[in-house]
Structures are given as structure tokens and as C-alpha cells.
Chain A
Amino acid sequence: MAEAIQKKLKAEVEKYSQMQKDVSKSMSARQKLETQLAENNIVKEELDLLDTTNTVYKLIGPVLVKQDLDEAKATVTKRLEYINGEIQRYETLLKDMEKKSDNHRELLSSLQQEYQRAQGLAVGKV
């Protein structure tokens, strides 16, 4: 009885740890997105300041590709929107994952209690 519970407990613990990892991953991804968002905002501002006399380049790999100012502006704006959308998505995902992890935590605690009880019984029996 106790052993079975123990196995269960282990499995649940693993699941829970996995969930925790997922949560942390999504968290970090979200943070990245946030930094990108900030950067893109700055870029947008700078682009607005520039006039057509300057040429805008985009770094694609090792290559600097010439870009039109307007195109650049549009691209940056689009990217900004995309980033925002991504952040939203990640946020919802994070919430769900947190809920799941909480539920899992409760389950774990209950299982632990059972296990302890079983252990106690076993000890008593012994």
C-alpha cells in the first residue's frame, strides 16, 4: 500500500517538476518578448526622427541590406504589433500553466499525506 502510494507520489512529483519547467520557459520567452518590444519602440522613435536623406539598413545575418525608410518604419510597426500579440498569448498560456501547477501541487500534497498515513500504518503494523 505504502509502496504504491510512493510510486504515485514520485510520478506526480515528476509531472509537477515538468510543469514548473514549462512555466519557467514561458516566463522567459515572455520576458524576451518584452525586451524586444521596448527595443522596437525605440527603433520606431528613431526612425521617425530620421528623414529620407539617411539610408536605413537591416542586418540579416552578416549582411546589411538597404531598406527604404518608409518600409523600415512599416516593418518595425508590424513587428511591434506582432510582439504585442505574442506577449498576450504567452500571458494566457502562463496563467493556465500556473493554475495547472497549483492543482498539481495540491494533488501532490494530498498524496504525500496519504503516503505518510500509510507509512504510519505500516509502522504501526510492524
Chain B
Amino acid sequence: KCLEKVVLAAFCQSVVMIFSEKVSGDYEALNDRLKTLPDQLSYDIMVPFGPLAFMPGKLVHTNEVTALLGDNWFAKCSTKQAQKIVDHRMKYVKSELNDLSKTMKNFEARVGLVKDLETISSSKGGYVDIREDTENTDIAVTKGKQRKAHKPNSKPKLDAVLHLKKEVEENEEESRDGGSGKDITTKEELWARLDELEKLEELQDEQDRLSYNADMNGEDTSSFSSEEEKEGDAAPPENGLGQKPSWTSAPHSKAQPSSDREAEDDDEEEEGGGLPTIFFSHTTEPKKVRINTGKNTMLKFSERKEQKDLSKRKNKNGHSNGHSHHELHKISTPADIYRVFVDMKNGEPIPRKSILKSRSRENSVCSESSESSAADFEERRMTGRSLSHDDTTHSDTSDGITEEESPTAVPLHPASRFEAFSGTVVEKDPMPSAVPHLTIAPPALPTILERKQEEVAPDVAPPQQAPKRVSKFKAARLLQK
């Protein structure tokens, strides 16, 4: 409508301009006539006599002109004076013309803008929407199948699940093959579970962020377990990665893959002892997964590759990670504590970056984040297992750090989980490990926790997403959709 109006306005302006030009032309002619008129005293002319007849006559008083001034006012004047009047009128007309042309240009500009907007809006809207829909649908389809495969806790299935990556058809196929044995009817259940897991994750996230209470540990563990199950069933591509290690590790794995699907893989691996450490991180970027390659080195891979690698590496890394984890958990000196909070040493201890920088770390291939996240998980697990201990320790250590408990609680979970994975209750020093965590860096705890939450998931799945935390499941779903 606006466009139409503008067009009309422009059109009118053009018309008016043309008209003005005519008027000015007429005035020019008049001017010429006035100039030549007084040249002679009288002119012989054919006087129009009505509409059809002419009469020869004379034109006298050639210098006397009665000019219309306007509004029914006339003035008798000489031709020169008349010329002056004409000049005045001409000036006026020209000024009017200029104004009109200006307005016309403005209108034209507006028209152009409107047209551009229309074209842009029309062009953008169509493509994007269509593409997105198709992509999502494809992912959703594959995911569903993947989840089914996850249900049975079997390594081959896990592998299949791991391979099942959102965008990897190959993986999907593998998973399908692996999970062919599973019931497809459970798809709906998987989705339902996924929803529940997502909710749990969200809850956990909120809790972790806000409450920082030991309760979180309990919740985390519980949520994790539920999530694990869900992950197993409805494995978003992210979960696939994390789930793999978790499942291989047995029921405990369920607890691990909770928050971070991808992180789980890392966690499981990091935990070492043959069990990948599961870091609770809400994968906002399901596609990328951090995999512990070597000693707690978290690398960001595409989910597909990483999943495959994870499966391969599990054995390798697990052991190595296990050792590292064990070492980390043995806290006998302050240095040990530091070690816990320091990423795996690949030659040298790499201090973990602050959680505040989680996002940046996540995106970057850094062992630190993974290590830290791994350590966090360790802590969590440790604490998770010994909730009672942890709670007490947390309370003791975090007198003024009630909020930090949550982060510590989180690390407890991984720690506990870690133990689970290893098969042995490696709660050598759940207290010490937990305590150190608490004491070492009360400020670090929250940061670590945040990292865990953010990075763990993102670590596993490279956090490329915005700071907004999205549960793994959600992320996976989103990816699917």
C-alpha cells in the first residue's frame, strides 16, 4: 500500500511538473510578444469575430496592456511593465517547479526503498524457511532411529549410536544396523524420554547455575541417570558420543552421559580407568564433540568422526585417562589439588582456564577445557558417589560458598561416575578430592561448574553456540529438527 501511495505521489508530481513546464513555455511566448508589440503604432490584423468569422482590423495602443494581477484584479500598464509582471510570474512558476521536482525525487527514493525492502523480504523468507525445515526433518528421522539403537546397552549398539550423528547418514545407517534389533515402537518412548531428559537437563542447568547446592549432585546424578537412559533411547547425535562411553562402562554410564552427550564421551575417556569421563555440559553445539585423545586432551571433532574415534579410543584413552584420573584423585598434597583442577598434563600441567571463558575455550581445541571438564566430572563423580561425604565436605569447605557447592557437587558426580566406570569404587579420597576442589578454588568451583555445565557439554560438543545453555537433548532435538 505504501508503495502504491508513493508511486501515485510520484506520478502526480511528474504530471504537475509537465504542466508547469507548459505554463512556463506560455509565459515565454508572452514575453516575446510583449517585446515586439510596441514596435509598431498599429497592426493590421484579422480580428476573430465569433467562433467562425474574422474581420480585418487594427491593433492600436500597442503599448497599453491590461494585465491580470490575480484574484480578479487588473492593471493597465505599458508593455514594459507587463513584461515585468511576466518576469515575476515566471520566477514564481520556476520556484514552484523546483519544489515539485524535489518532492518528486523524494518520492522516487521512497519508492525505491520500498521496492528493495519488498524484494529482500520476499527473497529471504522463502529460502531460509524451506531449507531449515528440510534439514530438521531429515535429522529428526535419523535421530529417532538412532535412539532406538541406544536402548540396548551393548557396545556394538553404542558404536552404532555413536556413529549416528546428526548429519552423518553413514553413522545413522550404522546405528540403525546396530539398533536394528531394537524395537522401533519405542520411538515414541524415546522421544518422551528425551523430553524428560531435556527437562531434567534444564533443571539441572538452572540448579547448577543458581543453587550450587549439594542437592544438585543428587539431582544431577539422578538426572544424569535418567538422562543416560534417555540418551540411550533417544540419542541425539550428541548423546551418541557421550552415550557410547557411558554404555560401555555399564549402568554407571547412564549417570554419566547425563548432561553432556558429547561431554560424556570425553568424560568417560577422561575418567580413565577404562571409563570415559562424562562431563556434565549442556551441549549447545551438538555437532562438535570433544574427545579425549591421549591424556585428557579434548579435541573438538565433528560428531561423526569423534564418535567413531571415541569408540576406538575408548580403549586406548580409557586406560590412559584412567590413570590420569586416578592420579588426580589421589590428593595428598596441595599440589595434588592443583593437579585436579589442572587439565591433564600432556607433558606439562595446563591450568584450566576460568569458567568464565568457557565459551571461548570450548570453541578452541584446548586440552584445558577438556581436562578441566574432565576433572570437574571426576570431582562430580567423586562427590556424587559420596554424596553424604560430599555434602559434609561441601558444607565444611564451602561455609561461605554455599553456591559453590553446586559446582562441587557437579564435580562430585563425575567423580562418582568415574568410579563407576572404572568398576571400582575409586573413592580413594572422595573427601580429599572433593575437599580440595572445594578448598582449592571456591571461586574456581563455580567457575568450574559453569564450565562443566557449559563446557562439558560444549567440550564434548564444541560450544559454538551462544551462551544460551541448551540441554544436550534439546540441542540434539533441535539439530534433528
Q: How far is the CA of A58 from the CA of B71 in the complex (A)?
A: 9
Spot the interface stretch: A10-18, A19-27, A36-44, A113-121.
A36-44
Contact B70 A46 (CB under 8 A): yes
Given A42-B92, A57-B66, are A47 and B75 neighbors across the interface (CB < 8 Å)?
A: yes
Spot the interface stretch: B81-89, B102-110, B230-238, B297-305.
B81-89
Residues of A within 8 A of B11 (CB): none
Q: Is the CB of A64 closer than 8 A to any CB of chain B?
A: yes
Q: Of B71, B72, B75, B89, which one neighbours A54 at CB under 8 angstroms?
A: B75
CB proximity of A38 to chain B, nearest CB, Å = 9
Contact B81 A54 (CB under 8 A): yes
Given A49-B84, A50-B81, are A43 and B70 neighbors across the interface (CB < 8 Å)?
A: yes
Residues of B within 8 A of A67 (CB): 73
Q: Of A54, A58, A59, which one neighbours B77 at CB under 8 angstroms?
A: A54
Cβ contacts B218-254/A at 8 Å (1 or 0 each): 0000000000000000000000000000000000000
Interface size class of B (residues with CB under 8 A): 10 to 19
Given A42-B92, A45-B88, are A55 and B75 neighbors across the interface (CB < 8 Å)?
A: yes
Q: Is the CB of A76 closer than 8 A to any CB of chain B?
A: yes
CB proximity of A49 to chain B, nearest CB, Å = 6
Contact B74 A56 (CB under 8 A): yes
Q: Which of B71, B75, B88, B89 is most buried by chain A, counting CB atoms within 10 A of its CB?
A: B71
Residues of B within 8 A of A40 (CB): 70-71
Residues of B within 8 A of A57 (CB): 66, 73-76
Q: Is the CB of A79 closer than 8 A to any CB of chain B?
A: yes
Q: Of A39, A49, A56, A64, which one neighbours B71 at CB under 8 angstroms?
A: A39
Chain A residue with Cβ nearest B72: A59
Q: Is the CB of B69 closer than 8 A to any CB of chain A?
A: yes
Chain B residue with Cβ nearest A40: B71
Residues of A within 8 A of B78 (CB): 54
Q: Of B71, B75, B89, B92, which one neighbours A50 at CB under 8 angstroms?
A: B75
Q: Is the CB of A107 closer than 8 A to any CB of chain B?
A: no
Q: How far is the CA of A54 from the CA of B85 in the complex (A)?
A: 13
Residues of A within 8 A of B66 (CB): 57, 64
Q: Is the CB of A72 closer than 8 A to any CB of chain B?
A: yes
B residues 48-98 touching A (CB-CB < 8 Å): 66, 69-78, 81, 84-85, 88-89, 92
Contact A64 B69 (CB under 8 A): no
Contact A42 B70 (CB under 8 A): yes
CB proximity of B98 to chain A, nearest CB, Å = 16
Contact B71 A46 (CB under 8 A): no
A residues 55-70 touching B (CB-CB < 8 Å): 55-60, 64, 67
Contact A55 B76 (CB under 8 A): yes
Q: How far is the CA of A43 from the CA of B71 in the complex (A)?
A: 8
Residues of A within 8 A of B88 (CB): 42, 45-46, 49
Given A39-B71, A57-B66, are A46 and B76 neighbors across the interface (CB < 8 Å)?
A: no
Q: How far is the CA of A8 from the CA of B460 in the complex (A)?
A: 68
Chain A residue with Cβ nearest B96: A38
Residues of B within 8 A of A46 (CB): 69-70, 75, 85, 88
Q: How far is the CA of A49 from the CA of B86 in the complex (A)?
A: 12
Q: How far is the CA of A124 from the CA of B77 in the complex (A)?
A: 83
Contact B77 A50 (CB under 8 A): yes
Contact A64 B75 (CB under 8 A): no
Chain B residue with Cβ nearest A75: B73
CB proximity of B413 to chain A, nearest CB, Å = 56
Chain B residue with Cβ nearest A46: B69
Residues of A within 8 A of B74 (CB): 56-59, 64
Contact B81 A47 (CB under 8 A): no
Q: How far is the CA of A62 from the CA of B436 in the complex (A)?
A: 112
CB proximity of B362 to chain A, nearest CB, Å = 53
Q: How far is the CA of A40 from the CA of B73 in the complex (A)?
A: 9
Residues of A within 8 A of B92 (CB): 42
B residues 175-205 touching A (CB-CB < 8 Å): none
Contact A59 B73 (CB under 8 A): yes
Q: How far is the CA of A43 from the CA of B68 in the complex (A)?
A: 9
Can you report 17 A-B residue pairs in the complex whose CB atoms are below 8 A from each other? A36-B71, A39-B71, A42-B92, A47-B69, A47-B75, A49-B84, A50-B75, A50-B77, A54-B75, A54-B76, A54-B77, A57-B73, A57-B75, A57-B76, A58-B74, A59-B72, A59-B74
Q: Which 5 A-B pairs have the closest CB atoms?
A: A57-B74, A59-B72, A39-B70, A43-B70, A54-B77
Inter-chain pairs besides A40-B71, A49-B85, 20 sampled, C-beta below 8 Å? A39-B71, A42-B89, A43-B73, A45-B88, A46-B75, A47-B69, A47-B73, A47-B75, A49-B84, A50-B75, A50-B77, A54-B78, A54-B81, A56-B73, A56-B74, A57-B66, A57-B74, A57-B75, A60-B72, A72-B73
